[in-house]
Amino acid sequence: MSGLSNQNRNYQFVLIGCTLILLSLACNLPLTASQSTGDQEKPAGFVETSIAETIAVIGQGEPVDTEEKTVQPDPPTATFTPESTDTPTLTPTATGTPTPEAPKVHISENTNCRTGPGIIYDWLVTVQKGEEPEAVAKDPLEEYWYIRRPGQEGSFCWVWGKYATPVGDTASLPVFTPPPTATPAPMAYSIKYISLIGPCPSYALMYQITNIGVFTLESWKTTMTDHTGGSNPMSTDHDSFAEYSGCNPVNQQVDLTTGESYYLLAIFGNNPQGHDITTKIKICTEDGLGGECLVKTFRHTP
Tell me the percentage of the chain whose pLDDT exceeds 90. Answer: 45
Query: Does some domain include residue 203?
Result: yes
* 236 close to 266: Cβ distance less than 8 angstroms: yes
Predicted local confidence at residue 97, as pLDDT: 57
> Do 10 and 110 sit in the same domain of this protein?
no
Predicted local confidence at residue 80, as pLDDT: 42
What total number of domains does the chain contain? Answer: 3
14 three-class SS: helix
**Pairwise CA distance, residues 134 & 137, whole Å:** 9
Query: Does some domain include residue 77?
Result: no
- Give the CATH number of the domain where residue 114 resides: 2.30.30.40
Task: Tally Cβ neighbours within 10 Å of residue 2.
Answer: 7
pLDDT band at 131 (very low <50, low <70, confident <90, very high): very high
> Do 193 and 159 sit in the same domain of this protein?
no
The H-assigned helical ranges of the chain are 2-28, 33-38, 46-61
Question: Between these two residues, 267 and 246, which has the higher pLDDT value?
Answer: 267
Predicted local confidence at residue 123, as pLDDT: 82
> Do 161 and 203 sit in the same domain of this protein?
no
**Pairwise CA distance, residues 106 & 126, whole Å:** 14
Query: Does some domain include residue 152?
Result: yes
> Do 161 and 194 sit in the same domain of this protein?
no
Q: Would you say residue 120 has pLDDT above 80?
A: no
Segment 106-111 shows an average pLDDT of 92
Q: For residue 1, what are the domain limits? A: 1-27+49-67
> How does pLDDT run across 69-101, given as a tens digit for each residue?
444 555 554 444 444 445 545 455 555 555 668
* 231 close to 275: Cβ distance less than 8 angstroms: yes
The H-assigned helical ranges of 130-289 are none
**Pairwise CA distance, residues 35 & 51, whole Å:** 22
Cα separation values, 106 from 23, 38, 70, 115, 119, Å:
138, 152, 98, 19, 20
Q: Would you say residue 65 has pLDDT above 50?
A: no
> Do 115 and 151 sit in the same domain of this protein?
yes
Query: Does some domain include residue 96?
Result: no
**Pairwise CA distance, residues 166 & 103, whole Å:** 7
- Give the CATH number of the domain where residue 246 resides: 2.60.40
Query: Does some domain include residue 172?
Result: no
> How does pLDDT run across 164-221, given as a tens digit for each residue?
999 998 888 999 987 776 666 788 899 999 999 999 999 999 999 999 888 999 999 9
Query: Does some domain include residue 33?
Result: no
Query: Does some domain include residue 90?
Result: no
**Pairwise CA distance, residues 213 & 199, whole Å:** 34
**Pairwise CA distance, residues 217 & 242, whole Å:** 13
**Pairwise CA distance, residues 12 & 23, whole Å:** 17
Residue among 193, 63, 50, 72 nearest 128 (CA): 193
pLDDT band at 17 (very low <50, low <70, confident <90, very high): low
> How does pLDDT run across 135-156, given as a tens digit for each residue?
999 998 889 999 998 877 788 9
Which DSSP state fits 131? -
Query: Does some domain include residue 146?
Result: yes
